[in-house]
Amino acid sequence: MKFTTGFQSQTTGSTRLKGDRSPPGSPWPMPKSWKPSKTQLTIDPESFYMSSNANDCEVISEGLTRYKQMIVKDLKGVKHPELPVLEGLQVKVNDDCSCGYPNHDSDESYVIEVPAQGAAVLTSKSIWGAIRGLETFSQLIYDDNEKNLFINSTTINDAPRYKYRGLLLDTARHYQPIKTIKKNLDAMAYNKFNTFHWHIIDDQSFPFESKIFPNLTKLGAYSQKHVYTQDNIRDIIQYARLRGIRVVPELDTPGHTQALGKAFPWLLTPCYGEGPEHPYTPNHPEHAAAEMLNPMLNDTYRIFKMLVEEIKTVFKDEYIHLGMDEVYYACWKSSPEIKEFMQKNNYTDYNQVEQHYVRKTLQNVKDIGYKYIIWQDPIDNDVVASPDSIVEVWKDTSLDLKMDKWENYIKPIAKKGYQIILSACWYLNYISYGMDWKKYYECDPRNFDGSEADKDLVIGGEACMWGEYVDGTNLLARLWPRASAVAERLWSPAHLTNDTESASFRLDEHRCRMVRRGIPAQPILNGYCGDYDWELDN
């Protein structure tokens, strides 16, 4: 029997894979505990049902509809005439049936039982675990070249290794179409990511619709068509919610604010690159060095606070990402006003100016009711943040030879007691030819020289897709299935994911699965995806 699961080739160039070939219907990411068997059942598309005791929650009801579509209609399969039929899937949510928004502490655990006869049962403590279990169940089903549908009797007991599994998308360097963002959320759900980190604004553009400061959008966006209205954003948040995905906005300051400065030019620090008689003449080669908010001004904090308050009326998550990366001191150092400000406050170093900005900004955000994430840069500069801050480690020699290895940054941050997110080895906009997914797969957030207590402060990580050279034409193909490698690293136990050769077989099948579901994921091997190759019918 020939299975059309994407395993039509086991070679890359002249190199044959050396790992263990996984059986068809192998899930990605790998579950915490999976007991497969050789006992096959079939599925009858005409009679297969999906039901739940939490069907009054739209996350569950729409999830059942969505996954039944994938199983029954998208596969376009038929019942095998000689095998016992799996009657359906019963989804039981035991504890938390509340139908709100996913959050930082959502329980995503679940258990799947596929018996040798009767109906399968998916049990979870929360609706979010049920959504993760539905994805796994859908991946257990496979077909053959006659389009017969199969599923093997199995038991799965699963829960994520890390509670923060994010994907950053930059929509400021290039505007990303809403359709593309939603398609990417689909792919995130197929890979069990749970956080969309929306880097919505930067130096290049300000596409967020601000109603209290309309000039931010009018002057800061590329055009009035390149804007995410507040209704657009609410629609995207709802789309993500139905897939168990949080949406965390990033408002990056005090750097990366050139677009903001188009509406509020007086908030930017005057740079004296050509001498004290020539303000606003930056001559600093560093990326983002010339567009720094002025930490002296009360307006800086007043306007920022009002903007965060507006953002909180649109975004539903308890967290906001406050950026704070790449705060270069060159502009501040060139400013006579900043020097006078330092003297008045008895500041002797520019990291004290940065501390001044961080302290006031974090307090304002806390007063609004937000928790927050920041990039590592202030901590590297010996700035003290609130103890409950989450710090994202992004620096690594792979991004800039002037930087140290990420392992040498993460340890001192952990020693200071901060919770940590790692993204340093997962900048997926830096792609290369061939099986480059392996280097992303092999990066483990706990592989640094620290105590177990230090390593326990790492709560997860995220893949980053920066948008300098990425828009709607190439976003999805550049991300997937590279981001799938990150997804498994963050979801699955480390001891089950230490063999890239064996993982290649499952990832190849998963890549074809995503192609079948409409994601233009790039190939990782020679071969083809059976009847599901991209636009084969055309």
Residue 61 — φ and ψ, nearest 5°?
-60, -45
**Helix, strand and coil in the chain, % to nearest 5:** 35, 20, 45
Respond yes or no: is residue 326 known to be catalytic.
yes
CA distances from 138 to 2, 17, 69, 127, 410 (A): 20, 27, 10, 17, 37
Residue 381 — φ and ψ, nearest 5°?
-90, 15
CA distances from 438 to 162, 302, 500 (A): 20, 46, 6
Cis bond before residue 285 (omega within 30° of 0): no
**CA atoms of 226 and 377, how far apart (whole Å):** 30
Catalytic-role residue among 87, 326, 407, 442? 326
Burial state string for 418-439 with b = 16 or more CB within 10 A and e = fewer than 16: bbbbbbbbbbbbebeeebebbe
- C-beta separation of 359 from 386 below 8 A: no
**CA atoms of 291 and 282, how far apart (whole Å):** 9
End-to-end CA distance of the chain: 27
DSSP state of 170: E
Residues taking part in catalysis? 326
